[in-house]
Copies of this chain bind each other. A is one copy, B any other.
Amino acid sequence: MSSDKKISSAVIRRLPRYYRYLGEIKESGIQRISSNELSNRMKVTASQIRQDLNNFGGFGQQGYGYNVEYLYEEIGKILGIDKTHSMVIVGAGNLGQAIVNSEDFAKRGFIIRGVFDNNKELDGRKIGEHQIMMSDRLPQFIKDENIEILAITVPKDAAREVARVAVEAGIKAIWNFAHTDINVPDNIVVENVHLSESLMRLSYNMANHANQ
């Protein structure tokens, strides 16, 4: 059920933000909103909002605007968070723990099914309700439990090997926090979170007085 036309990544980058705003607008009890009003809140052009949404179909109604709840639901579907996704974390350091202990991801349907590390001292220790497993059990676990997403929070030197093993075991997507690019086959999705690069951009902007 792949889409016909290729949606630009610039649009995809904006979708979660629409989703977040619409969620908040919905919570505040507002039932309909025009692209113009949404544009005021989000500081993007109304034109861009209408263009972006129309990549996926006509969600609005002339003379009325958009039904907030409906649009929120539809964007959720587009993002694939109307279903749950199974995830494992490899790397039980601070960052791994932060992800495990956060409620935000489970709330969006990303269910953590296992936490792995290769430090033997951590074997069996608990993070939240998860008992840390040794990394050599990772491939079998991915297969047995049908894990879709691998979050990599190990140091960069270990990251590629973890990715390789997981890909071989049939993982579908990798959420990579290690400071390295990982090379995987084209059909595997990789989403990078490079915190130190983010901080360098901040540093650049600070030196150059730029606006956000």
Binding site for B on A (CB under 8 A): 2-3, 7, 12-13, 15-17, 19-20, 78-81, 85, 93-95, 97-99, 101-102, 104-105, 108, 110, 148-149, 172-173, 175, 179-180, 186-187, 189-212
12 contacts between A and B (CB under 8 A): A2-B208, A12-B201, A12-B204, A17-B194, A19-B200, A99-B195, A105-B196, A110-B199, A149-B206, A186-B211, A191-B198, A193-B195
Contact partners of A149 in chain B: CB under 8 A: 202, 206
The answer to whether A206 and B189 touch (CB under 8 A), given A94-B97, A94-B102, A199-B175, is: yes
Contact partners of A206 in chain B: CB under 8 A: 80, 85, 148-149, 172-173, 189
Determine whether the beta carbon of A80 is less than 8 Å from that of B17. no
Determine whether the beta carbon of A209 is less than 8 Å from that of B191. no
